[in-house]
Structure 1
């Protein structure tokens, strides 16, 4: 189930990240999955309150979130290395098919847990489709790309943000999906 009006503003880093029920280290909850698209709805110093597509929310270390631009690159902009979406879509389908096959074999007891982990090691897929727009994770380039049906453009990298000299502890800020605060 997707929350109405959900628009990702950030992506969880490639190794996932811990999450908390409140902006307090003593109240941990379920960690967030790697490369999960989230919407940052509030900042409280280094803490970030994020909303997931299914309506679940949590507090995270906001400094570690990977920002993605709100406005996809213009279709008339320069063509990126991954301009044709078909090869990436094909790789995504192949990775998903490999995972599905492994799940089916695990369910039929044709694989044990260790063989399943071995078979799925290194598989990485990320897809968000919203009408004509698509966000795909390109594991070869290590980044998310945006597609409009005709071409793909870089959208957000999965490298960790650089530390700033003084990240400070700003007061609570409500962050709107359009990028304003």
Structure 2
């Protein structure tokens, strides 16, 4: 039975979502059905506390929820900073330029292996372009983002949700999917372009 006045803010991704009683991976509960409307009532870092139309609530990976479209903005309204792909494109260009300079120094003998390692230490870069589709790596948040040139969408995350927000810095290395397709349990996180995805461990469980 739908609770009076229930207004969903998000829906569950098309493959469903694991859920937990508390924002703790050790306390799993019944998962949420695909495309189930939910209301996001609280966030704790990456975790999201959602309420269903029947009043039942659970904690999920809030990064993977699909937002219910709001009223469209005016045609001349500025793009939200978090949805604008240009800042990440600029960072990718700068990182590639730094790496290219280090390679040239190594090839010309101006740098030895130690100097090359020092110049490239902590440098993270990931860009895949396929026509109008683009995948960009966000090193500050440890995730891949997909864009068709206008809006960014989370495509894959390096790690399971955390209670505390991530601080800027190098993220753990994870390989980039070769193509936008659904992965198998022993692969890194994958998903359909433009749609949120899960973090999958080698044994097939969400971490």
TM bin (shorter chain): 0.3 to 0.5
Give the structure with the larger strand fraction. Answer: 1
Larger gyration radius, structure 1 or structure 2: 2
Q: Which protein has greater RCO, CA pairs closer than 8 Å, 6+ apart?
A: 1
